[in-house]
Structures are given as C-alpha cells and as structure tokens.
Structure 1
Amino acid sequence: MEKKSFTFDEIKLKLVNYCVYQDRCHAEVEQKMKEFLLIEEAKEEIMLYLLKENYLNEERFTRSYIRGKFYIKHWGRNKIRLNLKQKQISEKLINSCFDEIDETDYEATLRKIYEDYYSKQKGLKEFQKKAKTIKYVLSRGFEYDEILHFIDT
C-alpha cells in the first residue's frame, strides 16, 4: 500500500497531537517519526519545537509513567526502572522521580499483592507457598529486601 505523504506542518501537528494525547518520551517520539519520511534536519526541528513548547518533557513523562505503573498497574520499582531504561530514560532522572511513589503506599501495595497471591496457593507446604509467592511478587518488580522485610515484620 502506498504511504500517504504529509506536509511538514501536517507531520508536526500529528506529533504535537501524539504528545498531547499522552506524555511521551524522546524514544517514543523518534519511533513515531519513523512513520514519516523525514530528513534529519526536519526531525531535529520538530523535536526542538516539541521541547520548546513543552509538548515533550522527559521529566514529566517519567513522573507520570511511574505514577501510572505503580498506582494503576501495581508494578514494583524494579519493573518500572527496567521499562523506563528500555525507553532510554537516564538512571539519574529515574531515581529523582521515584518520589512520586509514597513509601506507605508502596509497602501497602506489596503487602496486598503478597497476601492476595499467598491466600490463593492451595495444597502446598508452607515453605512452598512462601517461595512461590515471593517469586510472584519479585516478577511484579518488587525488591527482594522489601519482600523479606515485609515477611519478617
């Protein structure tokens, strides 16, 4: 199928709308730009425009990503960190934005995920239930120390 061609301004508007719809990171915008046949200078110009007009803001993206993945999807810090790194967000920025997660909420979420999963394990010995539950909570991105700390309290 033939690709529809757009003018520079149409492409710029499409990318503005892409950023307005939901916070994006640089990598996502660059990926989206690949849909359009743009020369390097045009890509740079659009990127600068999106940054200057604050449509594209890496810190805002990172903060909203952390909030969403924790408060809606109930992911732990490790899983959030890994996914942000895949989006080429710097370690420094990730660390500075983790204050979006309230420590009390984090512990309560960990506790709830642990207890819900644990209570569903039937017909296993105590240590098997515990091991299986720890493995599950780890897969949700929670830190091993945090899990052990919770179990021991």
Structure 2
Amino acid sequence: MEYYCAYQERCYKEVEEKLYSFSVNSSEKEEILTYLIENNFINEERFAQSFVRGKHNYKFWGKNRIVNELKFRNISSRIITIALKEIPEETYLKNFHQLAEKHWHNITERKGPKKNKKFVDFLLRKGYETNLIYEKLNELETGN
C-alpha cells in the first residue's frame, strides 16, 4: 500500500476502496489506513492540490467540475477551497479563452442556435461557470 500511495497521490477514499478490493477485514483496514496517514502516504490536502493542478493544466477542467469531482472523493470543503488557490485567476481565464475559441472554430455547424448549444454544452461539461461561457459566446457571435 505504501507503493500504491507513493506512486501517485491518493485520497483516503481511493485507498479504502483498494483495500476493500483485497478483501482486508475492517480492523486490519483501519490499522493500515492509520499507518498510511501517520506516515504521510495519504494527505488529503496534498492530493487535492495535485488533483486541481493536473485536471486544470492537462484536461482544462473548470472549477465546477473540479469541485464536484473532489466532493465525490469525500474531500472537505475547506480543503477544496485551499486547493483551488493552485490555479492563478489569469491562468484560469487564459485557458478558458483558448479552449473556448478553439472549440468554437472546430464546431462544424453554421452560426446559429445549434452551434451555440454545442459550444455552451461542451464548456458546461468541462465545468466552467455559465457567466464566463455566455460572455464568451456573445463575444464570438458578434466577432469582437
């Protein structure tokens, strides 16, 4: 389990599920998890920060999707707030604008409601905020 945690940042839930897959009884599981936490193999804050950086920088996820994924992994709101500070606001906006413009030009539909829907849906799935999406849509539609 040390190797499993050292190979890649893991959250408590992932390690717990891995132990469950090995059919470890509950007292042994608690003992192993306690050991891993005490020896800093599991650190939720470090996991969340790494997760935020990776998902934004490589998959270009927005904050909404990142927050939902971290909540799914039972990461506390306090840790999520700290982790989101890993993305500088200017980098976040730069990545959003690049992704939005690239996707706008890759949509094969002609300008109109169908193209707009595809554009908005894509960015919502990526986890970006609706106000950002609609501001960018207006900008691209008018050609400014």
Whether these two folds match at TM > 0.5 is yes
Equivalent residue for 2:93, pick from 107, 110, 124: 107
Residue 18 (structure 1) aligned with residue 10 (structure 2): no
- Please give the secondary structure, in 2, of the residue aligned with 1:72: helix
Letter in 2 for 1:21: Y
Compute the TM-score of the two structures, normalised by the length of structure 1.
0.83
In 2: Cα distance, 1:17 partner to 1:123 partner: 49
1:55-134, aligned counterparts within 5 Å? 55-134=41-120
Alpha carbons 1:114, 1:134 under 8 Å: kept: no
How many equivalent pairs are there?
Answer: 139
Gaps of 5+ in 2: 140-144
Note the C-alpha offset of 1:127: 4.6
> SS of the residue aligned with 1:67?
helix
User: AA paired with 1:33?
Assistant: L
Instruction: State the alpha-carbon separation in 2 of the partners of residues 16 and 137 from structure 1.
Output: 38
Q: Deviations over 1:54-102 (max 9, x none)?
A: 0110000000001000001111111111111111112221122100011
1:27 corresponds in structure 2 to 13
Gaps of 5+ in 1: 1-14
In the other structure, the counterpart of 1:10 is none
Tell me the TM-score normalised to structure 2 length: 0.87
Residue identity over aligned pairs, in percent, reads 35
**Root-mean-square deviation over aligned CA pairs:** 1.7
When residues 146 and 123 of structure 1 are mapped into structure 2, their CA distance, relative to the original with a 3 A threshold, is closer
Larger Rg computed on CA atoms: 1
Contact residue 49 and residue 83 of structure 2 kept, 8 A? yes
